[in-house]
A and B are shown apart, each in its own frame.
Chain A
Amino acid sequence: MSESIVRALKCRECGHEYKIEPTHVCEFCFGPLEVVYDYDKLQGKFTRELIESRPQNMWRYKELLPIDGEPKVGANNGYTPLVKADRLAKALGVKELYIKNDSVCYPTLSFKDRVVSVALSKAVEFGFTTVACASTGNLAGSVAANAAAAGLESYVFIPEDLEQGKVLGAAIFGTNVIGIRGQYDDVNRLCSEVAGKYGWAFVNVNVRPFYAEGSKTLGYEMMEQLGWKAPKHVVVPMASGSLCTKVDKSIKEFIKLGLVEDNQTAVYGAQATGCSPISKSVKDGTDMIHPVKANTIAKSLAIGNPADGYYANKVMKESGGYAEDISDEEIIAAMKLLAETEGIFAETAGGVTLGCAQKMIESGRIPRDESIVLCITGNGLKTQEAVLNEVNKPRIINASLKEFDVLAEADGVQ
C-alpha cells in the first residue's frame, strides 16, 4: 500500500538522527539508536478493518515495522493465541487473566521469531549474506531457522552451558554454533568485536534497532485479540529489557493511531533473582543498573548487563508498573502451575513471568479485579532439564488388564 512511514534512526540520548543503515550507536554520545516513524502519514489509512483483512501473521502490522515493502524473511511468523486463562485466574485469585502464548510462536517456539524476521528481512535489504547473533538460546534457534529458510549463512554464539534443547534447536538448521566459555555477557562482548571486524549482520548488534522493533507485534496482537483494547496490566519477562520497552511502545503507537483507547496500561517486568539487575533497580527506586554475574536456571533471561535496562526501568516507572524477581524453586513451581491449570508448557522464562506476577498480585502491586496479560515467551520442551526431576515418572506395567486394574484400584478409580 502506501509509502513507508519510517523516518530515521534516532539517538535515545541526544536525539541526533541518522539515515536507515546497519548501525546501532550514536556517533556523538554512544547512545543507542531507535527507529522513529512519521505516524501522521498513517492517519486514517491504517485501520482495524485493514488489519483484520490480512493473513494472521505478524506482518499484518507491517506499516509499523521498519521494512521496505514486503518481508524478505519469515513471512509466516507470529500471530499466537491469546488464551483466556480462567483456571489460572482462579488459582491466583484474580478476575480477568490472559496469556499471550508465544511458546507456540512459528517457527521456533519463542517470541524471538518476531524480532528475527524483522532483523533478517532488514539484513537482506541491506545486502548481507551472513547473519549472526549473541544468544541466551532462543535467539540462536530462531536466527538459525529463519536464516536456513531464507538461504542465508549464519553464525550463532551462545554460552557453552546452555540447555540441550536450545543447542540442538539451533544446530539442526545447519548453522555454525559457537559455544563460548563464559556467560552471556562474555558472548555479547566477543560479538561486538566480531561484528566490527566481519561484515555480518549481527541481529542484536549492528541491526539491533530494527530487530527490537519486531517485539512490538506481540503487543499489537495482544490488543487486537483483546477486542482492540489495551489491558490494564501486562507482565513481561526481561533479559536485555528490550521486549518490555517494545510492548510499551506498541501500546503507545496503537493509542496514537486511534486503534485502541488509552487504558493507562501498567507494564511490569519479571526476572529471576539469580539475575535481576533491572528488577533490583526498580525495587530500589533508582534508575542505574548495576551489572551482575548471572546464576539461575532461567538461562534465557541471564543477561547480567542488560542493554535496555535503563529504558525498561523507565517504562515500568512511568507506566505505573513495577518489577519483581523470584527464586529458581519458585520458577519451577510456576512452570508446573501454568502447565497444570492451562495446559501450557512454558520454558523457565514463562515460570519467571507467572511467578513474578503471582508475587505482585499477592503484594497488592497488581490489583485482583482488573485485566492482566501475562507474556509467555518460550517453550518448555527447550528447557526440560529444569523440570526433569520435578514431575512424576511413568508407572511401568505389563500389557495386562489385571495389572492395570491393580493400579487403578490403588488410585481409587471406580
Chain B
Amino acid sequence: MLRLIVSDLTANARVWLGALLIAAAAATVGAMVASDIETALSAGGTTALALYGISGTIAALTVITALIVVGTVTTLTVTLQQRAYALWQLIGLTPARIRLIVTTQLLAVSLLGAVLGCAAALPILQPLYAYAFTGSPDLSALHPRFTLSGALPVILFVAVVITIGGSRAAGRAAHTPPIQSLREASLPARRMTPARWLTGSLAVAIIAAITASLPGSTSPAVPLTLIAPLTAGVLVSFGPLFLPGFVRAWTSVLPPTASAAWYLARNATATRGGATIGPLVVAVALAGGLFAADGASSQGSSTLTTGAVVLLIGGPLLLAVLGSVATIFMSSRRREREFALLVAAGGTPGLILLAAASEAVIYVGTALLLGLFSVAVTSVVGAWATHAWSWAGVMPSLTVAVASLLLVLTATVLPAYAGLRQRVTRVLAAE
C-alpha cells in the first residue's frame, strides 16, 4: 500500500503540488494570526488589548478564507484523480481501502505543507510587524513571537480541514462506479452535497446573526467586515445550483458567432470553472468588504491605513488568489488535452492563446460580479445599521480583480503557449 501511495503522489505531481502549496500558504497566513495572539499574550497591558482586537478580526477573516479556499482545492485534488481511483477499483481495491489511501495521502501532504508554511512565516513576521504597525510606536516595537505552541494549532487546523474535507470527497469518488469515471474525460459535474447545504446555510445564519447584532453597536466595522467574505462563502457553497447558468448568462454579452475563442472558453468555464472562480470571489469580497464596512462605519473619516489593510486582509487575500491560480495549475493537463484536440481540428495558435486568455477573463469577470454582490450586501447592511451608504467597496474590488486578472492570465496563457510547442499526439496519447 505504501508503494501505491508514493507512486500515485509522483504520477499526479501537478495535482499534489497544488495541494501542498495551498496547505503551506494557509499555514503561513495562519502563522501570522497565531503569532499576533502569542505576541499579545507575552506583551500584556494595553498593547496586548490592541493586538487582541486586531488578531480577532484577522483570525475570523483567515478562517473563513481558509475554509473556502482550502476546501475547494482539496475537493479538486480528489476529483481530478477520479480516473486513478477507478483503475484502483478495477485492480481490486475496495472503496473503503481507496478512501483510506487518499486520506493518508492528504494527511501526509497537509502536514508537510503546514510545517513548511509555518517555517516560511518565521522570517517574514518581523518585517510585517514593522510595516503594518508603522503608525503605532508601541506595536511596531514589538518582537513577534511564534513558537511551537503557536504553530501546533495552525498545523492541526490545516491538516484537519484538508483531511476531513478530502476524505469526504474521496469517499464519494471511491464509490463512483469505475466505468463511469473512466468514461468521463472531464470532471464529474459539481453537485450539491449535504456538506454544501450545511456550510451554506450556516453562513447565511451567521450573516443574519451579525446583522441582528448591528443596530446600536458602537463598533460595527469589525462585524461588517465579515459579511462580504461570508456572503462569498454562501455563493461558493451554493455554486453548483447557479454558477453554470450565471456564467453562460453574462458571457452571452458576446454572441457565440462573434468569437470562437470566447465561445470555447465560455463553455469550458461554465462546466468546470467553479473551483477557480470560488477563491477569486473571496478575494474580491475581502477587499471590497473591508472598505465598504469601513466606509459605512467611519462615515467619511476613514482610519484605514495601507499598513492596516495589509495586516487585516493581506494574508487571506494572498491565500485566495494563490488558491485560484493553483486550481488552474492543477487542472492544466485537462486543458492541454482540449487544446490538443483544437489543434487537430484546425485551431490556429492564435485561437488557442485567445481561448486561454478568454478563460481568464471569464473567471475573473464572474468572480468580480459575484464579489461585488457580496460587497453590496455589506453596503446594504451597513446602510441599514448606520444610515450611511458607502461606495467605498467598489474601487478596491476592481483593483483586486485587475491584479488577479494579471495572475490568472499568466496561469492560463503561459501553459497554453508552452503547450503549442508540445506534440499534439503526445498529449492525446497520455493516460
A and B assemble together = no
